[in-house]
Amino acid sequence: MDTRNLIGYNYSLRIGKTFKALDPSSGKELEGDFYAASLLEADEALLLADKAFAGYRYTDSHKRAAFLRSAADEITALGDELIERAMAETGLPAARLQGERARTTGQLYMFAALLEEGSWVEAIIDTAIPDRKPLPRVDLRKMMVPIGPVVVFGASNFPLAYSVAGGDTAAALASGCPVVVKAHPAHPGTSALVAAAIKKAAETHNMPDGVFSILYDDGYTIGEALVKHPKTKIVTFTGSLKGGMALVKMAAERDEPIPVFAEMGSINPIVLLPQALENRAEELAKIYGSITTNAGQFCTKPGLLLAVKSDGLDKFKKALGEGIATVNSATMLTPGIRKNFAKLSGERQAEEAVTVIAKSDKLNNENINQGLAVVTEISASDFLADEKYGEEVFGPYSMLVVADDIAQLEQVIGTLQGQLTASVMAEKEELPKYRSITDKLANLAGRVILNGPPTGVEVGNAINHGGPFPATSDSRFTSVGTSSIKRFVRPVCWQNWSEELLPDELKTDNPLKIWRLFNNEWTK
Amino acid sequence: MDTRNLIGYNYSLRIGKTFKALDPSSGKELEGDFYAASLLEADEALLLADKAFAGYRYTDSHKRAAFLRSAADEITALGDELIERAMAETGLPAARLQGERARTTGQLYMFAALLEEGSWVEAIIDTAIPDRKPLPRVDLRKMMVPIGPVVVFGASNFPLAYSVAGGDTAAALASGCPVVVKAHPAHPGTSALVAAAIKKAAETHNMPDGVFSILYDDGYTIGEALVKHPKTKIVTFTGSLKGGMALVKMAAERDEPIPVFAEMGSINPIVLLPQALENRAEELAKIYGSITTNAGQFCTKPGLLLAVKSDGLDKFKKALGEGIATVNSATMLTPGIRKNFAKLSGERQAEEAVTVIAKSDKLNNENINQGLAVVTEISASDFLADEKYGEEVFGPYSMLVVADDIAQLEQVIGTLQGQLTASVMAEKEELPKYRSITDKLANLAGRVILNGPPTGVEVGNAINHGGPFPATSDSRFTSVGTSSIKRFVRPVCWQNWSEELLPDELKTDNPLKIWRLFNNEWTK
C-alpha cells in the first residue's frame, strides 16, 4: 500500500505532515503514514487533470468502458486485503463490505455497459429544411459532452461504493471527465488500495496521465483548495448538511461559480397508515432492521415514523420496542460520528416531550465507539412545536410521531423539509383514500416507497437518489444509477456542420446504432 | 392596458410609486403609469404561486397544452396594438417584432405539442425481479416532475420571445411550474399586454389562480425580493454578466440555495480559415449583417473575428468595412444600453493597439439613442496582452483579431472564456487540417457553427442555447428549445408502488403511449 498522494501516474515525492488511520472499534492507530497533501499537490493534480481532459474527453467510449471494467477487476483482485483494511478503518462487518464491493464493481460495469450501448449522450438531430418558409431550417445536431475535471469527496459511510471508485468517480470517468478524489480521512488505507487499482487499470488502457488522482488530508485545507481551484468544474460530495453547505457556499463564491452536487442526507419519513397497522403491526415493526443495520449509518435510514394513534399502533410500538431491544451495539464509523450520535440522540431523549419506546442494552464491551439503538416517541403537537425534531440524527435512532388524527398527521408532513426518500406502509385498498398524503410525499422526496424500507438503494436506470433541499443541493440530479452521469455533461449543438467532422453519435447514418431523436422521432 | 401588478387573476389594488415607459428613439415618456410593486405584493404573488402549484402540477397535460395554445392565440389577438407598443418601447422595427411574436407563439405551440406527445417526462421503468440473487430487484419507476414556483426576469432585448410569455415562461408553465414574472422596466406596456393575454388564457382553461403573476419595478428591490422569497424554487434571467451574477450570488446566499439559470451573453468568436478567406472573402464579409442587425443587440452577435493575416484577409477587411459603412444607425433599446455601448466601443477605439476598420456615419438625426456600427482590428499579440478584449461589447461592434500564424490564432482561442456560440468559416476540404481548432471551439461553446452566422437561433429539439461560464451560470442546460424544460423539473422514483396510484406515464400498459426506457429498452 502506497500511502503517498497520487497525482496521475506518479506518487508524489513531496513529504510533509502525515496522519494515521484509526480503528474505531479499538481506538488504536493502524499501520501506514498517510501524507497530508500540500497546496502545491492540489494544484498539480488539477493542472494535470485539465491537461488529461483534452485527450480523455475524446477517448473512444469502448476504450473508456474497458478502462472502467479493468478498474472493477483490479478492485476485486485486491481480495481480502481490501475488505480487512476497510473493516479495520470503518468498523463495518465483512459481509456488508463484501456487498459494498460488489456494488462498487457493479457500478463500474454498469457504466461500462452504458458507454458501449451509447444512447446516454442524448443525441438529438433536426436536419435542414432549406425550403421552409419564412426562413430555412439549418441542420442542428446536439449531444452531451463532458464538462471537465471533477473533484470527488469520498464519503465516510460508503468506504467503497461512494468513495474513491464509487458512484461519483465511476459516472464522472464514464462521462469523459478526469477525477481528483479527496480521500476521506477515516479510511485512507482503503482509499489507497482502491486508488492503486484505478491507477493500474488506467495504465493498462493507456488513459491520459491525470485522468485520476487522489489526495489525502485529515483537515479541510486541501478540500477547500480543490473546490476553489480554477480548473475544477464540478464537485460531488456525500455527507453532512454542514459539510455539504460549506462546499456549496465555497463554490458559489468563486469567480466562476461551479455546480456542487452535495447529497446531504435526510430523515426519510415513513407513514404508517391505519389499516396496515391494524392488520400487520408486527410485520411493520420489522422496520427496526432498517433503522439499526450498520448502526443506522445510511443516508436513507428511516429517522421518522408517522402514525395516528390506534390499537394497531400500540401493537406496532410493542413489537418495534422488542425488535430494538434485540439489536447488538455496533461500532460507528468514527469517534466523531459516535460522539455526535450520542449527543443528538441523548438530547432528544432528555426532552420532556419525548419518551423512549425502547433502547437496546446489548452493549459490546470489547469494542469502543459503540452505537446503541434507540427509538423514541413524541406527540404530533410537540413535534410541530420545535423544528429540530425534523432534523437528522445520524445513527441507529428513529422517532415515532403520534398524531391525533389524519389531519394532524398531514400537518406534520407539511412541515417536513426535502427528503431523499419517503415511505408509506399501507394496505392497497386504503391507499386511494390517502391520495393527498402520497402526493405530499412525492412532492417532498426524490423516491417514494410503498411497503418497503428506504435503505437498500437499487443501482440502475430507474433509481433516483436525490431530492429537494436540504436532501441535496440540486434536486434535478441523482447521485446513484445511470442517470447520475448527467451531473457531469453539458449539451453541445453542431450547426450546419460537416458530416465527416461530426462526432459519430451525430452522423446521419448512425454508425454507432444508438437511440436518437431524429427529426422528432426516436430511432436507432 | 391595465398597468397594475397582476397577482394571479387579480390586479392589485395597492397603489404606490409609479413609473412610465420611455420611447428610446425620442426620449419621450409613453402613456401609462405602471405601479412599482411593493414587497407585500412580491410576497403575495409567491404565496399564491405556491398555492397554485399544489394543483397545477397535477393538471392534465392536454389541459396544460390547451392553456399554452390559448395564450399564444391571445397574444396574436392583441394584433397591432402589441407591435406598436413594443416598437415604441424598444426602438425595434415592426418586422423584427412581428417575427419575434411568431417565435413567441411558436414556442408556446411547441411546448403544447411536447406536452401532448408526452415523452418529455423521461419515464424510466425497471420492473421487479423477485428471484434475482443475492437480492430481489424491487420495482422502480422514475419520471420528471415540476419543482415549484419559477421567477422569470424579462429580457430587455427580446421584449416578446424572452420576456413575459417567452421561452422561460413557456417552458416553466409547460413543466407544471407556476411563474412570477418580473417585467423588464424598459417595456412595461408590452409586458402588460402580454400578461393580460396569459391571464385570459388561464381563466379560459380554469387554471389555478396564481399560475401566473407579473410584477413591475423600475429598480432592483422587487427582483431581489422575488429571488430571496422562500417559495421561489428556480430563477431564470437573460441579460448582462453583472446582472446575472448578482442574482446567482443572491440565490446562493439563501438559507435554501436555489438554481438560477442566467444567460449572460458572450462575444461569439468566428474563426475565418485561410482557404475560405482566399476563395470567398467578399461573401464572408456579409457577416457584417449579423454584427449590426437590430443594433447588434443579440446575445449571439459575433463580437470577435479571428484570422491569420493574408491577402484574403485584406480583401475580407475591405469588404467588411464597405458593408459596415452602409449600415444605418439604429435606436438602441434603452439610453443605458446606448450609453454603455458608446462608452465601451469608444474605449476600445481609443486604445493605441486598436485600429478602426470601418465606422458607419449614417446617423439618423431624427431619433436619439442611436447605435452606429463599428468594426475594429487588433493584432493577436495585443489581444493576448489584455483580457478586456475578450469581454462583450453589447451593440453593433465587432473586433477582428489578426494572428501571425495558426499557432497564434489557436493561442487566442485558448484564452477565450465560455461562449454561447463559436463559428468557423471554412472550405470543407481545409477543415480536417484544423481539427484542433474546431475541437477547441466545441469545448468552449454551447453551439458550434460552420459557415453561418451565430445570430438567428433556431427553436426546436436539437438547439442548444447555453454554454460554459460566463456565457451562462450552468452549462448543463439550454434556455431555448424543448430541452429547456429540463431546467424546471426533477426526477421522482416510485418504488414498489401500487399500479393504480402510479402516474399514467409510469403505468405498465403505457396508457399515454409515450417513449419510455422499459427494462433497458426504449419502447412506446
Cβ–Cβ contact A432 with B under 8 A:
yes
What single-letter DSSP state applies at residue A514? -
Q: Looking at CA atoms only, how far is residue A413 from chain B in angstroms?
A: 14
Q: Do residue A260 and residue A409 come from a single domain?
A: no
Which domain covers residue B324, as residue numbers? 269-450
Cα–Cα distance for residue pair A356/A485, rounded to 1 Å: 43
**What angle (nearest 5°) sits at the alpha carbon of residue B459, between those of residues B175 and A488?**
65
Query: Contact B126/A428, CB-based, under 8 Å?
Result: no
Cα–Cα distance for residue pair B438/B428, rounded to 1 Å: 12
Q: Do residue A345 and residue A221 come from a single domain?
A: no
The CATH number of the domain where B294 resides is what? 3.40.309.10
Nearest to A461 among B135, B442, B520 (CB): B520
Query: Contact A124/B442, CB-based, under 8 Å?
Result: no
Contacts of B136 in chain A (CB under 8 A): none
Contacts of A470 in chain B (CB under 8 A): 256
Cα–Cα distance for residue pair B271/B125, rounded to 1 Å: 45
Cα–Cα distance for residue pair B261/B479, rounded to 1 Å: 8
What mean pLDDT comes out for the span A279-285?
98
Q: Do residue A214 and residue A237 come from a single domain?
A: yes
The percentage of chain A sitting over the pLDDT mark of 70, rounded to a whole number, equals: 100
Cβ–Cβ contact B136 with A under 8 A:
no
Neighbours of A51 (CB within 10 A): 17
**What angle (nearest 5°) sits at the alpha carbon of residue A371, between those of residues A370 and A373?**
145
Q: Do residue A144 and residue A52 come from a single domain?
A: yes
Neighbours of A297 (CB within 10 A): 22
The answer to whether B7 touches B47, Cβ cutoff 8 Å, is no
What pLDDT is recorded for position A15? 81
For an interface test with B, the pick among A501, A514, A516 (most B C-beta atoms closer than 10 Å) comes out as A501
Would A339 be classed as within a structural domain?
yes
What pLDDT is recorded for position B394? 97
The answer to whether B288 touches B320, Cβ cutoff 8 Å, is yes
Q: B324-347: per-residue pLDDT in tens?
A: 999 999 999 999 999 999 999 999
Query: Contact B463/A142, CB-based, under 8 Å?
Result: yes
What residues form DSSP beta bridges with B137?
Answer: B129
Would B502 be classed as within a structural domain?
no
Residue with cell 453561418: B452
Cα–Cα distance for residue pair B197/B316, rounded to 1 Å: 47
Task: List the catalytic residues of A.
Answer: 263, 299
What mean pLDDT comes out for the span A331-349?
97
Return the SS3 of A104: helix
What pLDDT is recorded for position A265? 82
Q: Which element (helix H / strand E) includes B106?
A: helix B94-117
Nearest to B138 among A259, A458, A493 (CB): A458
Cα–Cα distance for residue pair B31/B33, rounded to 1 Å: 7
As a whole number of Å, the end-to-end CA separation of chain A is 47
Residue with cell 424500507: A453
Residue with cell 457531469: A488
Cα–Cα distance for residue pair B460/B110, rounded to 1 Å: 8
Q: Which element (helix H / strand E) includes A447?
A: strand A445-450
Q: Do residue B38 and residue B136 come from a single domain?
A: yes
Cα–Cα distance for residue pair A329/A361, rounded to 1 Å: 8
Q: Where are the beta strands (DSSP E) in A13-166?
A: 18-19, 34-35, 124-126, 140-146, 150-153
Cα–Cα distance for residue pair B235/B229, rounded to 1 Å: 11
Q: Do residue A346 and residue A307 come from a single domain?
A: yes
The answer to whether B263 touches B469, Cβ cutoff 8 Å, is no
Q: Round the CA-based radius of gyration of chain B to a whole number and report it.
A: 25
Q: For chain A, give percent helix, strand, coil, nearest 5.
A: 45, 20, 40
Cβ–Cβ contact B365 with A under 8 A:
no
What single-letter DSSP state applies at residue B470? T
Closest residue on chain B to A436 (Cα):
B54
Q: Looking at CA atoms only, how far is residue A28 from chain B in angstroms?
A: 35
ipTM of predicted complex: 0.97
Would A97 be classed as within a structural domain?
yes
Would A39 be classed as within a structural domain?
yes
Residue with cell 421522482: B492
What single-letter DSSP state applies at residue B136? P
Cα–Cα distance for residue pair B502/A492, rounded to 1 Å: 35
Q: Do residue B238 and residue B277 come from a single domain?
A: no
How many helices and strands (H and E) does chain B possess?
Answer: 15, 25
**Of A417, A439, A518, which Cα lies nearest the Cα of B503?**
A439
Contacts of A486 in chain B (CB under 8 A): 476
Query: Contact A469/B494, CB-based, under 8 Å?
Result: no
Q: Do residue B23 and residue B41 come from a single domain?
A: yes
Cell of B195: 400578461
Per-residue DSSP letters for A138-161? PPEEEEEEE-S-EEEEPPSS-TTT
A330: which residues sit within 8 A by CB, 6+ positions away? A91, A292, A294, A295, A364, A370, A371, A396
Question: Strands A124-126 and A516-518: what pairing?
Answer: parallel
- Residue A181 one-letter amino acid: V
What pLDDT is recorded for position B14? 85
Contacts of B57 in chain A (CB under 8 A): 443
Q: Do residue B15 and residue B134 come from a single domain?
A: yes
Cα–Cα distance for residue pair A220/A192, rounded to 1 Å: 19
Query: Contact A452/B517, CB-based, under 8 Å?
Result: no
Cα–Cα distance for residue pair B77/B201, rounded to 1 Å: 12
Cα–Cα distance for residue pair B448/B454, rounded to 1 Å: 8
Would A283 be classed as within a structural domain?
yes
What residues form DSSP beta bridges with A235?
Answer: A151, A260
* Residues belonging to chain A: 524
The answer to whether B60 touches B371, Cβ cutoff 8 Å, is no
Q: Looking at CA atoms only, how far is residue B293 from chain A in angstroms?
A: 16
The answer to whether A269 touches A244, Cβ cutoff 8 Å, is no
Q: Do residue A84 and residue A100 come from a single domain?
A: yes
The percentage of chain A sitting over the pLDDT mark of 90, rounded to a whole number, equals: 98
A476: which residues sit within 8 A by CB, 6+ positions away? A466, B147, B259, B486, B487, B489, B490, B491
- Phi then psi for B424, rounded to 5 degrees? -130, 130
The CATH number of the domain where B252 resides is what? 3.40.605.10
Q: Do residue A445 and residue A303 come from a single domain?
A: yes
Query: Which residues in A373-392 are b (16+ Cβ under 10 Å) and which e?
Result: bbbbbbbbebbbeeeebbeb
The answer to whether B422 touches B445, Cβ cutoff 8 Å, is yes
Q: Where are the beta strands (DSSP E) in B3-69?
A: 6-7, 10-11, 18-19, 22-23, 28-29, 34-35
**Of B2, B23, B8, which Cα lies nearest the Cα of B331?**
B23
Task: Please write down the long-range contacts of A347-351, taking CB distance under 8 Å and 24 or more positions apart.
Answer: A348/A376, A348/A389, A348/A393, A348/A397, A348/A399, A349/A374, A349/A376, A351/A378
Would B495 be classed as within a structural domain?
no
Neighbours of A47 (CB within 10 A): 16
Cα–Cα distance for residue pair A33/A149, rounded to 1 Å: 28
Task: List the catalytic residues of B.
Answer: 263, 299
What pLDDT is recorded for position B265? 82
Contacts of A125 in chain B (CB under 8 A): 462
Cα–Cα distance for residue pair A195/A11, rounded to 1 Å: 11
Indicate the number of domains in chain A: 2
Would A253 be classed as within a structural domain?
yes
Low-confidence ranges of chain B (pLDDT < 50): none
Question: Strands B269-272 and B304-308: what pairing?
Answer: parallel
Q: Do residue A149 and residue A274 come from a single domain?
A: no
What mean pLDDT comes out for the span A50-57?
97
**What angle (nearest 5°) sits at the alpha carbon of residue A160, between those of residues A157 and A164?**
105
Cα–Cα distance for residue pair A333/A340, rounded to 1 Å: 11
Residue with cell 483494511: A85
Cβ–Cβ contact B494 with A under 8 A:
yes
Cα–Cα distance for residue pair A380/A65, rounded to 1 Å: 51
Cβ–Cβ contact B355 with A under 8 A:
no
Residue with cell 386511494: A432
What residues form DSSP beta bridges with B304?
Answer: B269, B399
Cβ–Cβ contact B446 with A under 8 A:
yes
What mean pLDDT comes out for the span A336-356?
97
The answer to whether A21 touches A187, Cβ cutoff 8 Å, is yes
Would B509 be classed as within a structural domain?
no
Cα–Cα distance for residue pair A40/A32, rounded to 1 Å: 22
**Of A166, A192, A180, A243, which Cα lies nearest the Cα of A89?**
A192
Give the up-direction half-sphere exposure of residue A342: CA atoms within 13 A in the CB hemisphere: 13
Query: Contact B522/A520, CB-based, under 8 Å?
Result: no
**Of B255, B183, B190, B252, which Cα lies nearest the Cα of B213?**
B183
Q: Round the CA-based radius of gyration of chain A to a whole number and report it.
A: 25
- Residue A117 one-letter amino acid: E
Return the SS3 of B462: coil
